[in-house]
A and B are shown apart, each in its own frame.
Chain A
Amino acid sequence: MASDVRDGGAPVAVRARGWGWRHATRTAWALAGVDLDVAPGERVLLLGASGSGKSTLLAGLAGLLDGGPDGTGEQAGELFLDGVPAREARSRAVTRGTARTGLVLQDPLAQTVLARCGDDVAFGLENHAVPPDRIWPRVDAALRAVAFPYARDRPTARLSGGERQRLALAGALALRPGLLLLDEPTAMLDPEGAALLREQVAAVLAATGATCVLVEHRVAPWIALVDRVVVLAPGGGVIADGAPGDVLAARGAQLAAQGVWVPGHLPAPPPRRPAGPAGALLLRGRGVAVRRPGPPEPPLRDVDVDVHGGRITCVVGPNGSGKSTLALALGGLVTPAAGTLVAGPALARRLGPRPARWRPRELVTRIGTVFQDPQHQFVARTCAQELAVGPRRAGLADAQVRERVTDLLDRLRLVPLARANPFTLSGGEQRRLSVATALATRPRLLVLDEPTFGQDARTWAELVRLLAALRDDGTGIVAVTHDEALVDALADDVLRLRAGRPDVGAVPAAGRAR
């Protein structure tokens, strides 16, 4: 029977002894030999190269890994919450009406369970058999705790990514967990949304005193919130463990080399060149308006834009400002609802002036678009075949196709991965491959949607160098981004959008060079 709600929520102590996990479908261990003690109320930042098993450790702590005969893998060693095996702690808690752990994941779209906000928060309470009359007060309290701005009956389909993450946090909080597990909760949010979520997490931890284990690649914004940093070695074991300042001083360079964004070890962009004379006009938009089905972005309108060869235009603005919609229009993927968007002769060559009317095989040799999620654009079984798709569609001869594929594999450090399936690559490798596929048909114009989004520091630096080199070779580049560092490093022109319209009063960026 669900007992008094004040029952739960005591900060949890974690103890791991030689703990490891192997997924049933893999031969290699996701991680092994983890020894770790976390005191009640401690806040731990978990670092390590991607693939070092950080998410697996969080899933283990949440009691979601079943090493039993019908389980999803094999467990080694022991993992305890307050002296109780993690999986047992989960099932015991369910009968008590409070959870031991609360887990918030990275992908906002995938972790909303139900169609109305209040129902979504109530979902966990129902599963914990809380009596219905006690559910709604706890739902309201949890929504208040994350300063949720909407009523319970707000459809979740109308939430932004940041709002969804706050809802997920509320859903975890309603269960009064003594251990909060955060798996890159801000990785897919814009800077404003990420800052807001961090504030809420800080407030929640201050109010509940719960233990917290956090996985994040961007260290700086979280450093004030944690009192300990633990670094996992690839393949297993703890290689560093201590106060944030000490660990980062001792291991900063090593972590940065693995791609972690460590303060004081940030990647250096190439020296900024003074903005050169504009090259040929590639695209000219006047009063462009685009309407898109689907809720997240308002219609875009009144946009004037000129895109020239040899220059980088950054389109910036908060989430929902219409940036991605504009990228689709500039990429020739959607037809503007009003205004004119015409390609200059240097881009159109012998085709008509409207990119949205070009056939796909004509489009790829003129404009390359790189989507935010690389997986949307993968269509082949191996990386090498993936690079060959565009040139083949454009009608190149076999020998030429082979030459371009070899060249790109080499330039983007993809040679060892030539035969790998694109879907199995790491996030950074997928990003490099998706940029390479766009370059394979040598378009005069490259449109990128959030190219540095969620990327580690190494991939970031590589992308910046690559884009600068392309620009210097005369390619026109449009980058939709909320990455201020990218804008500082590369932008020749900046177009600022807000709520679907150009942000008046924004500074033209010609003189942004340092």
Chain B
Amino acid sequence: MILPDPLAVRAAPSGRGALARTNPVAKLLVSLLISLVLLLTVDVVTAATALALECLALPWCGLGARALARRAGALLVAGGSAGLVTALVGVDGGTRLAALGPVTVTQGSLLSGLAVVARILAIGLPGVVLVATTDPTDLADGLGQVLRLPATPVLAALAALRLFGVLAQEWQDLAHARRARGLGDGGLLGRLRDVLGQVFALLVIAVRRGTVLATAMESRGFGAHPRRTWARPSRLRPGDLALLAGGAAVALTATAAGVAAGTWRLLLG
């Protein structure tokens, strides 16, 4: 088992593409806005409209087709399987298209399935682009300066993220070290116990390293004074405002299309 290294994100080609270069806060706000609008309803027209508009913007996101496919792979699998399950066992309605025992696919359940797929993809895609094209440090700068979130928790989270990369290596070392002690075989239960032990050992190491990191940060004045400056200025530029406007347009258009088609239905309770 290998933990993902969050710093590997930095290796993404974040320089190319107008969308990739925008302020991370603008990307984050657009992702949140589109997600919010799509969480309000499960209908195929709204979700498909949003997805189609997002796809139109993809050429400017700074990711090649292959990089995008690699990152969106998990999303496709999740969306596809959720859609399939919905089509097979979802609430039936309309014409029956296929049946095998109790499992039936009807027009209604098929539409619901498609809606689920489109919704998951439309919510997930902006997130995939955000993560792939955003440097965590730049995001923290934006959260602190553009959104004026309190600096201490933002920076503590950023430092913890870097430590997470170190812990990924520690996890591997632990796995080797434990095999050398004779751990890691035996039945399923024994293995489960060994993995839990390894997780515990990793936590102990994380606490130890975290304590040292906190000391190092405090020794450089972290948390000693409420005021701080930012070495890397982060503000919203015209391009960022354009992205925000574009995101709002996507959200509005998709909702309007859903309402016009009569499929939009507020999802409450």
Query: Would A99 and B220 count as touching, CB distance under 8 A?
Result: yes
Q: In this assembly, does B219 line the interface, its C-beta being within 8 Å of a C-beta of chain A? A: yes
Chain B interfacial residues counted at CB < 8 A: 57
Residue of B nearest to A295 (CB): B169
B137 engages A364 (CB within 8 Å): no
Determine the chain A residues whose CB is within 8 A of the CB of B197 once the complex forms.
379
User: Residue A437 at the B interface, CB < 8 A?
Assistant: yes
Cβ-defined partner of A119 (8 Å) among B169, B172, B232: B232
Contact in complex: B180, A377 (CB < 8 Å): yes
CB contacts (< 8 Å) of B5 on chain A: these are: 157
Are A363 and B179 in contact, with the CB atoms below 8 A? yes
For A, the interface residue count at a CB cutoff of 8 angstroms equals 74
Kindly list chain B residues whose C-beta atoms are within 8 Å of the C-beta of A438.
180
Query: How far is B158's CA from A164's CA once the two chains are assembled, in angstroms?
Result: 18
A131 touches B229 (CB 8 A): yes
Interface residue B225 (Cβ < 8 Å from any Cβ of A): yes
Question: Chain A 124-139 against B: per-residue CB contact (8 Å), 1 yes, 0 no?
Answer: 1111111110011001
A172 proximal to B (CB < 8 A): yes
Q: A115-B136, A363-B182 are in contact. Are A125 and B231 (CB under 8 A)?
A: yes
A132, B230: Cβ atoms closer than 8 Å: yes
Distance to closest chain B CB from A408 (angstroms):
15
Closest to A90 in B: B224
Q: Mark B143-181, 1 if CB is under 8 A from A, else 0.
A: 000000000000000110011011011101110111111
Q: Which of A114, A368, A375 contacts B162 (CB 8 A)?
A: A114
Residues of A within 8 A of B180 (CB): 331, 333, 363-364, 367-369, 371, 377, 438
Most buried by A among B165, B166, B178, B182: B182
Distance (whole angstroms) from the CB of A320 to the closest CB of chain B: 14
User: Bound complex: CA of A331 vs CA of B175, how far in Å?
Assistant: 13
Query: Could you say which residues of chain A place their CB within 8 Å of the CB of B208?
Result: 110, 375
- Cβ–Cβ < 8 Å partners of B229 in chain A: 125-126, 129-132, 135
Contact B181 A136 (CB under 8 A): no
Complex contact A360–B176 (CB within 8 A): no
Contact of B221 among A116, A127, A378 (CB under 8 A): A127
**A residues less than 8 Å from B165 (CB atoms):** 157
A148 interface residue (CB < 8 Å to B): no
**Cα separation A131 to B228 with both chains bound (whole Å):** 9
With known contacts A122-B231, A294-B169, A168–B216 Cβ distance under 8 A: yes
B positions within 8 Å CB-CB of A: 2, 5, 7, 10, 135-137, 158-159, 162-163, 165-166, 168-170, 172-174, 176-186, 197, 201, 204-205, 208-210, 212-213, 215-225, 227-233
Chain A interfacial positions (CB closer than 8 Å to B): 59, 62, 64, 90-91, 93-95, 99, 101-103, 105, 107, 109-116, 119, 122-132, 135-136, 139, 155-157, 168, 171-172, 175, 181, 293-294, 328, 331, 333-334, 359-361, 363-364, 367-369, 371, 373, 375-379, 389-390, 393-394, 423, 437-438, 441
